[in-house]
Structure 1
Amino acid sequence: MGQLLPADGRELRVTEARRRFFEEGACPDGELPNEVLRSWLRCRDAGVDYLANGRGDPEGRSELAEARERSELLLNNASGVMEHVYEQIRASGSMVILADDRGVILHSLGDPEFVGRAQRIALQPGASWSEGARGTNAVGTTLIEAAPVEIIGAEHFLDRNGFLTCSAAPVFSPEGTIAGVLDISGDSRNPQRHTLGLVRLAAQMLEKRLFEIQYAREILVAIHSRPECIGGLQEGLLAVTQDGRVVGANGIARALLRQLPVCPEGIGFSNVFRVSFGVFMDRCARDPHALQALEPRAGERLFSRLRAAGPLLGMSRAGTRDDEAGAAARVQSARGARPCDRRTGEITLDCLATGDPRLQLALDRAARISGKDIPLLVQGESGVGKELFARAFHFSGPRAEGPFVALNCAAIPESLIESELFGYVGGAFTGARREGAIGRIQQAHGGTLFLDEIGDMPLGMQARLLRVLQERCVTPIGGQRQIPVDISLVCATHRMLRDAVKAGTFREDLYYRVNGLTITVPPLRERSDIRSIVAKILETELAESPRAGQVRISEQVLEFIERYPWPGNVRQLQNVIRVAAALLDDDEAEILPVHLPEELFGADPMDDAESGRPQAAAAPQPAAEAPAEPSAQARSLGEIELEVIAAVMREVSGNVSAAARRLGISRNTLYRKIGRMH
Structure 2
Amino acid sequence: MVVIPQLRERRDDAVLDARRSFFEQGETPESGVAPLVLRSWERSRSAGLDVQDGRLIDPVGRARLSEARERSARLLDQAGGIMEHVFEQIRSTGSMVILADIQGMILHCLGDPDFVGRAHQVALQPGASWEESVRGTNAIGTAIVERGAVEVLGAEHYLERNGFLTCCAVPVFSASGQLAGVFDISGDSRSHQRHTLGLARLSVQLLEKRLFEAEFARDIRIAFHPRPEYVGSLQEGMIAISPEGAIIGANPFAREYLGLTPGLLETPALSTFLRIGFGQLMDRAASAAGDLLMIETRRAEPVYVQVRGQRPVRVEVSPTKTLERAPERAAAKANERGRNRIQLDDLATGDVRLQLALDRARRVLGKDIPLLIQGESGVGKELFASAFHHSGPRCDGPFVALNCAAIPENLIESELFGYVGGAFTGARREGAIGKLQQAHGGTLFLDEIGDMPMGMQARLLRVLQERSVTPIGSMKSIPVDISLVCATHRVLRDAVKQGTFREDLYYRVNSLTVTLPPLRERTDIRHIVTRLLDAEIGDMRRGTVGIGEEVMSFFERYNWPGNVRQLQNVIRVAVALLDDHEEEILPVHLPEELFGTDPCDDGELRRADFVPAPVTAAPAAPVAVQAVAETAAPRSLDEIELAAITTVMREVGGNISAAARRLGVSRNTLYRKLGRMN
Q: Which has the larger radius of gyration?
A: 2
Please report the TM-score for the alignment, with normalisation by the length of structure 1: 0.46
Please report the TM-score for the alignment, with normalisation by the length of structure 2: 0.46
